[in-house]
Amino acid sequence: MTVRPLARLLLGTFLVLAGLSHLFWARETFRAQVPEWLPLDVDLVVVASGVVEIALGAALVLLHRQRVVVGWVVAAFFVAVFPGNVNQLVTHTDAFGLDSDLSRWLRLPFQPLLIAWALWSTDAWRHRPGRARMDA
């Protein structure tokens, strides 16, 4: 197995485990990260995002032929949940061991890294919209 497929497998496994934690052992912690301004039931948001993470993780592991599309969807998901990380910072919410503003600030740059990981490990970056294709 080369590096990219291994990276995709690791990211998929990470997402499945994160999704399971939403549903079982860390639900309260994830509830603390849902912004108050979101007009949805907090528990619904946590459960739904957990189910989505499990589905995306499974797709990364199992859908090799659709990996480019899956990569873009995973990247979009990481963008969509980023406001929760920002909310944790601005509301000074302690969760996931982030118990200071410094630690919450340091957490923010990891989201772009996750986005890059999703795009790189699936080759989605090579197939981005608007990229001119060159015929050999």
Total domains in the chain come to 1
User: What distance, in Å, lies between the first and last C-alpha atoms of the chain?
Assistant: 27
Residue 98 lies in a domain: yes
Q: Which domain holds residue 20?
A: 3-120
pLDDT number for residue 132: 55
pLDDT in tens, the chain (136 residues): 799 999 999 999 999 999 999 999 999 888 888 888 999 999 999 999 999 999 999 999 999 999 999 999 999 999 999 998 899 899 998 888 888 999 999 999 999 999 999 999 999 988 766 665 544 4
Residue 45 lies in a domain: yes
Q: What is the pTM of this model?
A: 0.88
How long, in residues, is the chain?
Answer: 136
- The tokens describing 132, both together, are 């001119």
The type of residue at 38 is L
* Residue bearing tokens 């690791």: 10
Residue 129 lies in a domain: no
